[in-house]
Structure 1
C-alpha cells in the first residue's frame, strides 16, 4: 500500500519517497507486536487451562510463565529497534515536508499542525509511539505491562494508517477546502459494509479465524496431560 500511496502524485500528503519505507516499517512493527500479543494470550490461556484442570499436565504454570517472559524480552528488543526506525522515518518525513515547503505545504501544515494535531501528535506519536517505547525500555517487564505496551503500539500503527489514508482525503485536489469522513457503523448496503465498521472488523478477525482453523489441523503449543498413576 505504501508504494501505491507514494506514487500518487495527485495527493500531496501521500506523495513522498519515504511513504513506502514508512509503511513497511510500520507493518513490521505491528506484525511483531501482534505476534507477541497473540503469544501472550495463548500462553495465558494455556496456563489458565493448567490451573483449572483437574488432571495433571506435563508442564506447570510457572514453567509457562518463565518461557513467556524470556521470549518476550528477546522479541521486544527487535520491536524496539523497528519502532525506533518507524518513528525516525515518520519524523524525518515531517521535517522533509517542512524544509522543502512545496506549493501544497500551506494546506498540509494546516492539516498536520491544526486540523489533525490531536490525532497525529497526541494519539499517534505520544500515546501510540512514545508511551509504549518507554514502557518497553523499562527493566523487568511484566505480562500486564507488556500487554498494555503492545496494545498501544498497535493503536499507534492504526492511527498512523488512519491519519495517512483518511487524512490524505481530508482536502480537495484544488486545495479549496476540507472534507469530513464519517465511518459507517450500521451497513445499509454492500458498499457501506465494505467501507464501514463491520467490514473492517471482518478483515481484522479473519486472520485469527484462519489461525484457529490451522491450529485445529496442525496444533501448536500443545501441552499433553499426564496419565494418572
Structure 2
C-alpha cells in the first residue's frame, strides 16, 4: 500500500516536472525566436505573425481563419494525393505521409492544465490587487503615474486601433532585441538618463505633496 502511494506521488511529481520543463522549453523557444538565435525560424515566425495581423487589419477574423485553414488544406491534400500517386506508380507501401504527426500525442495533460491555471490565477490575483491599490489611491504618486499613462493612451487610441497596436508590437518584439544588441551601450546610457530624470521629477512631486499625504504613505 505504501509502495503504491509512493509510486503515485513519484508519478505525479515526475509529470509535474515534465509539465514545468515543457513550459520552460516553450518560453526558451520563444526567447530564441525573438532574439534571432535561429534566423530562418525567426524570419518565418515574424513574417507569418505579421501577415496574419495585416490580414486581420484588412479582412474580418472569420475570413482570415477561413483562408488560413483553406491554404493549409490545399497544401496537405495536394501532398497526400501526390504521395498516393507516387506510391501507386512505384508500388511501394509507405503508408500515410502524415502518419508520424497523426500518431503524435498532442493532448494537454491534467498537470499541464493545472500548472497553467495556477500561474494564470497568480497573475490574476496580482493584477486585481494592483488595480485596487491604484484606483483607490493607496499611493498617490503611483496613482498619478497611472493617470498620466492612461491620459497618453487616450491619444494613442485616437490614432491607432487595437490591430495596428498589435502590428507595431509584433514589429517591436522582433526588431528591438536586434537593435539593442547592436546599440547596447548607447541605449543603456539613454535609458539611465531618462530614469534619472523621471526619478528627479517624482522626487520633486513627492516633496511638494501635502504633509498629511506623506504621513499617510509613511504609515
Report the TM-score, using the length of structure 1 for normalisation.
0.26
Q: Please identify which structure carries the higher helix content.
A: 2
The one of the two structures with greater contact order (alpha-carbon pairs below 8 A, sep at least 6) is 2
**Which structure's CA Rg is the greater one?**
2
